[in-house]
Amino acid sequence: MHSISHPNMARFFGDMSGQFEGSITRSIRYFVEAGDKIKKSQINRLAETRMFSALSDGGERYRAKDLFEPSKDNIALGLRVLNWPESLWESRSREAQFIFRLGLIEVRYVYD
């Protein structure tokens, strides 16, 4: 991959006005590649942007902090989980760590 000297956030937020189903994974990879070149204010804006869809949830968009990690346990509990291609989700991947940084909820604890 090539190095990103300055992330083009305006282009991303411009794309947010339309449907871009299927490219959210590419967008997250772009942000991961940009790494520390993304300003804190841009991270905060991404965290507040409703850009993610939930598994089995008719196309509504959510912030990362409104969704749970798409783990088998969270799915079995019937929680609203991130819609992410199952074959691509790895909780230790750089992409997952970035989404956790945006607020994705990793674990749901249930107490007796």
DSSP 8-state secondary structure symbol assigned to residue 24:
H
Q: Note down the domain range covering 95.
A: 9-101
- Give the span between the Cα atoms of 71 and 107, in whole angstroms: 9
In a domain, 4, yes or no: no
What are the pLDDT digits (tens) for 2-35? 444 555 666 566 555 444 344 788 889 888 998 8
In a domain, 108, yes or no: no
In a domain, 2, yes or no: no
Answer yes or no: are the C-beta atoms of 48 and 63 closer than 8 Å.
yes
- Give the span between the Cα atoms of 70 and 49, in whole angstroms: 19
Cα within 13 Å of Cα(26), Cβ side: 6
Q: Domain tally for the chain?
A: 1
In a domain, 111, yes or no: no
What are the pLDDT digits (tens) for 44-73? 989 999 989 998 877 799 999 999 999 988
pLDDT of residue 90: 92
In a domain, 35, yes or no: yes
In a domain, 24, yes or no: yes
